[in-house]
């Protein structure tokens, strides 16, 4: 199959490209910054927000794995960019859109979660064949979150909130299964093998990096905080293949 991967140089998109290429699909890798993708794929210059190159990128593809996102510019990239993508796709041959959603997108009234949900709804209502697989946060995302918090002598983490880190490669493999299986609608949510308190993730980050910080857990106020403390970001379906959090941390330390 010919498959377009948006966000092809991102954490998930790069892994999707590798897994698709391994299964002998023809991969079209779209990323605006032109960063290298770790497999031999055809790169296309495509900026979803601006609509640049989108029509050419989707032309003739059987499926699109839509991994582009921007946490800071989510209204433009996730919302408007997804609209640009599906409108272009509907014009040229109606490919199957495979979308990696975020667990809790409809439950957490936080601006980024809302944009993720809006993007998902755009895919679902596009009139194209679609599959949506929501997952919990990737190892890398939580690691970066801990690194940002550890920039300060006092490391503030959300109180009473758990995370269920998942290996993005396990997600990538499931997305490739969906490409091959055809439109499947909304799949059951998936998450990593274990959920950890944010304080535990902070502890493992500090132990691994050797940094000394005072970890302080603070309640996130508002309805979004309450939803997250109630576990809206956690998945019942646990994925046990792929690396667990402790293995990931060990790999990060080896690479450092």
Residue 86: CB partners within 8 Å, gap ≥ 6? 97, 122, 123, 126, 128
| Distance in angstroms (rounded) separating the CA atoms of residues 82 and 20 | 22
Does 5 bind ligand NAP (CB under 6 A)? Our answer is no
Q: Where are the alpha helices (DSSP H) in the chain?
A: 11-22, 54-58, 74, 81-92, 111-124, 139-149, 168-181, 198-209, 222-229, 245-255
CB closer to ligand NAP, 35 vs 219: 35
Task: Please report whether residue 57 would count as binding ligand NAP according to CB under 6 A.
Answer: no
Q: How far is the CB of 217 from ligand NAP (least distance, A)?
A: 21
Contact letters for ligand NAP, residues 75-104 (x by CB under 6 A): --x---x------------------x-x--
Q: Establish if 7 lies at the interface with ligand NAP (CB under 6 A).
A: yes
Minimum CB separation of residue 152 from ligand NAP in Å reads: 22
Residue whose CB is less far from ligand NAP, 146 or 154: 146
Choose one: 124-132, 133-141, 182-190, 237-245; the region binding ligand NAP (CB under 6 A). 133-141
Of 25 and 189, the one with the shorter C-beta distance to ligand NAP is 189
The reply to whether 215 sits near ligand NAP by the rule CB under 6 A is: no
Q: Which is nearer to ligand NAP, 97 or 102 (CB)?
A: 102
| Interface pick for ligand NAP out of 53, 107, 141, 177 (rule CB under 6 A) | 141
* 69 in contact with ligand NAP (CB under 6 A): yes
The nearer residue to ligand NAP, 42 or 210, going by C-beta atoms, is: 42
Residue from the set 3, 4, 13, 149 that interacts with ligand NAP by CB under 6 A:
13
Measured distance CA(113)–CA(110) in Å, rounded:
5
As measured in angstroms, the least distance from the Cβ of 181 to ligand NAP is 19
Pairwise CA distance, residues 178 & 123, whole Å: 15
User: 3-class SS at 235?
Assistant: coil
Q: Residues 192, 167: contact at Cβ < 8 Å?
A: yes
**Would you say 189 and 238 are in contact if contact means Cβ atoms under 8 Å apart?**
no
DSSP, collapsed to helix, strand or coil, labels residue 174 as helix
- Write b or e for each residue in 179-213: b if 16 or more Cβ atoms lie within 10 A of its Cβ, otherwise e: beeeeeeebebbbbbebbbbbbbbbbbbebbeeeb
Q: Note the residues at the interface with ligand NAP (CB under 6 A).
A: 6-13, 31-33, 35, 46-49, 67-70, 77, 81, 100, 102, 116, 135, 137-138, 141
């Amino acid at each position: 199959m010919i498959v377009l991967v948006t966000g092809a140089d991102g954490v998930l998109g790069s892994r999707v490209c590798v897994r698709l290429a391994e299964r002998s699909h023809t991969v079209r890798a779209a990323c605006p910054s032109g960063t290298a993708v770790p497999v031999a794929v055809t790169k296309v210059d495509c900026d979803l927000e601006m609509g640049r190159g989108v029509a050419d990128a989707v032309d003739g593809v059987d499926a699109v794995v839509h991994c582009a996102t921007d946490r800071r510019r989510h209204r433009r990239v996730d919302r408007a960019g997804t609209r640009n993508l599906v409108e272009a796709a509907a014009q040229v041959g109606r490919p199957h859109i495979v979308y990696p959603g975020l667990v809790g997108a409809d439950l957490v009234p936080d601006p980024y979660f809302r944009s993720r949900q809006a993007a998902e709804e755009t895919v679902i209502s596009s009139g194209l064949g679609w599959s949506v697989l929501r997952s919990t946060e990737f190892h890398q995302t939580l690691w970066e979150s801990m690194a940002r918090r550890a920039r300060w002598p006092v490391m503030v983490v959300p109180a009473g909130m758990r995370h269920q880190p998942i290996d993005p490669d396990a997600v990538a493999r499931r997305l490739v299964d969906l490409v091959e299986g055809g439109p499947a609608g909304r799949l059951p949510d998936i998450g990593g093998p274990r959920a950890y308190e944010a304080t535990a993730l902070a502890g493992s980050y500090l132990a691994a990096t050797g940094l000394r910080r005072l970890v302080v857990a603070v309640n996130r106020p508002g309805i979004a905080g309450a939803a997250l403390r109630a576990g809206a970001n956690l998945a019942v379906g646990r994925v046990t293949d792929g690396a667990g959090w402790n293995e990931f941390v060990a790999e990060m330390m080896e690479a450092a």
